Chains A and B, each alone.
Chain A
């Protein structure tokens, strides 16, 4: 089953707080898990990505946690800022020989209140 489920659909966080977005997948063949950030009217931009051979990856205020056995991964945004207000998408893909097609979650609209 090529499906990625994302939660919550929307999230409101106070400035300086931690934003947490969760994703779960079905297909154990997925081997690449990126997170994209999208501002209204713009194309998504890659934020951070992880391969299943590591359990955590951190880039600045953004951290991906990956639980292979549970088939879940999550995005943590530390010290959330109003400029982080955007829609976030998790995704998963299998690899070049399988077309490298991204399967996206439904998205989370994040609002960071000043």
Chain B
């Protein structure tokens, strides 16, 4: 089945730790995106990548880092510099057009 997978579904982080969220797609999409969603709010763009080995900052990139070594994969690292990381993280992908398809999300909680 084609789609976007995110893992893990739930992630707990201690203060001061870096954690990495996985996003994989087998849709052969060029572009991939990371969004953050806080309770009762819309989605905000963290990073996006339109091509392998290239990525751009979104609106709230501080405290996050990404890599795009393969077309299928776009992992997001939440660093200790992100002071309020508890949120629902969503990965999306699109072909070189407009429609973005979203994964099921990872809920990150800081202990």
Contact = CB atoms under 8 A, between A and B. Distances in A.
Contacts of A34: 98-100
Interface in A80-111: 89, 93, 95-96, 99-107, 109
B7 interface: no
Contacts of A103: 45
A99 B100 contact: no
B58 A101 contact: yes
Interface residues of A, number: 27
A96 B96 contact: yes
Given A89-B42, A99-B50, A99-B56, A41 B98 contact: no
Nearest to B90: A43
A11 to B, nearest CB: 14
A43 B58 contact: no
Nearest to A95: B98
From A34, A43, A46, A104, residue with most partner B Cβ within 10 Å: A43
A95 B31 CA distance: 12
Given A100-B31, A104-B42, A46 B50 contact: no
A44 interface: yes
A62 interface: no
A51 to B, nearest CB: 9
Interface string B74-105: 00000000000000001010101111111111
Given A49-B99, A101-B48, A44 B31 contact: no
